[in-house]
Amino acid sequence: MSKQWLRECSLIVADEQGEGIDLSALKITFSITRPSFAYPATGIFKIYNLNDETRAKIRANEYKILKFSAGYRGNLGQIFSGQIQYTYTGRDSPTDTYVVIQAGDGDQPYNNAVINITVSAGYTQEDIDRVLMRDIEKYGIVAGVRPELNKNVAPRGKVLFGMHRDELSILAKQNGAEWRYEDGQCHIIPKRTYLTEAVVLTSETGLIGTPEQTIGGGVNVKCLINPKIRPETLIRIDNASINEAGISTGGIARGDSSEGSLEQPAPIDADGDYVVINVSYFGDTRETTYYMELICVAKSDQTLLNMSAIQADVRPA
């Protein structure tokens, strides 16, 4: 491997006060899945040959938070931060022990946060957003990306009751958006938008193998871990490098190759621009496995989110 691709990572577990320990020097394997929609990203980390004291603290649930950064020299960044959900221990050999940690990004507010409040008449969507953010402040969540929310003034009051995530979904839907937790932030992102200028992927910049067109499921891309690529990132690939999807024999017999049929290959963007909708990371800090898999859709009529419209520092009122 050339100096250009020297791998780096950082894994820290910490308590609720932020006091923790850096486990980066140990052998670590990891698997992380981050969708673009509300369901929390999940990370599974297998850490080898911890000392007895650290292993005991992890098993006793003294550490609550896990933060993981990965990438290559000159491009290292955090790709996961979440609440520890459960742990277990095991042994690969007489000399190699391990602790497995599963963590969820936004797991606690997603599964536990409830709301019961009445908002008076005259509220706007921004008021609802502030109320919802105030209600999850205790979980360490702050507002992230925001669109310009609907400014209409409501003539009647509103009751917010039930699971907090359901009220977030209602707010997002009423503003033509989707929401998710990511690294301690709650993002509300308009549909049909992406968040970055294109990240160009070639064999020289980290593309692995051949992108695969699927039947109705987008284009699958594999590349070296790049922390700049997240859901709603725009990537650019050479369409000539895409392995086109084939229709099954049964599909051909049914005429599924025609317009409106059941088996339609995912659209190919004329300029090679694709929006990432799902990211999965896989790695082993002591072996060659160290990559990410992307599910992408053609950019089509999606547009770059107007950064001037993003309320990046919304705080609970």
For residues 183 and 209, state if they share a domain.
no
Task: Name the domain count of the chain.
Answer: 3
Does 72 share its domain with 118? no
**Range of 138's domain?**
109-192
Q: For residues 78 and 227, give the distance between their C-alpha atoms in angstroms, rounded to a whole number.
A: 7
What is the per-residue pLDDT for 217?
86
317 within a domain of the structure (yes/no): no
DSSP 68-92: EEEEETTEEEEEEEEEEEEEEEEES
250 inside domain:
yes
Same domain, 97 and 52: yes
Structural domain contains residue 148: yes
In a domain, 307, yes or no: no
Which of 169, 192, 215 delimits the end of a domain? 192
Looking at residue 55, the DSSP 8-state letter turns out to be H
Residues 222 and 271 in one domain: yes
Same domain? 42 vs 131 = no
Q: Do 294 and 276 form a contact (C-beta atoms < 8 A)?
A: yes
Whether residue 316 is contained in a domain is answered as no
Domain boundary among 105, 129, 158: 105
In a domain, 73, yes or no: yes
Q: Within this chain, do residues 17 and 38 fall inside the same structural domain, yes or no? A: yes
Q: What CATH number should be reported for the domain holding residue 162?
A: 3.55.50
Kindly provide the b/e burial profile for residues 5-38, where b requires at least 16 CB atoms within 10 angstroms of the residue's own CB. eebbbebbbbeeeeebbebeebebbbebbbbbeb
pLDDT confidence of residue 1: 44
Can you tell me the distance from the alpha carbon of 130 to that of 123, in angstroms, rounded to the nearest whole number? 11
Choose the final residue of a domain: 192, 211, 233: 192
Residues 293, 208 share a domain: yes
Domain of residue 48, CATH code = 2.40.10.10
Secondary element (H or E) of residue 58: helix 52-59
pLDDT of 246 reads 73
Which pLDDT tens digits describe the chain residue by residue (317 residues)? Answer: 444 678 999 999 999 888 999 999 999 999 999 988 888 999 999 999 999 999 999 999 999 999 999 999 999 999 999 999 999 999 999 999 999 999 999 999 999 999 999 999 999 999 999 999 999 999 989 999 998 899 999 999 999 999 999 999 999 999 999 999 999 999 999 999 999 999 999 999 999 999 999 998 899 999 999 999 999 999 999 999 999 987 654 554 455 555 555 678 999 999 999 999 999 999 999 999 999 999 999 999 999 997 555 544 443 44
Q: What is the C-alpha separation between 140 and 28, in angstroms, rounded?
A: 27
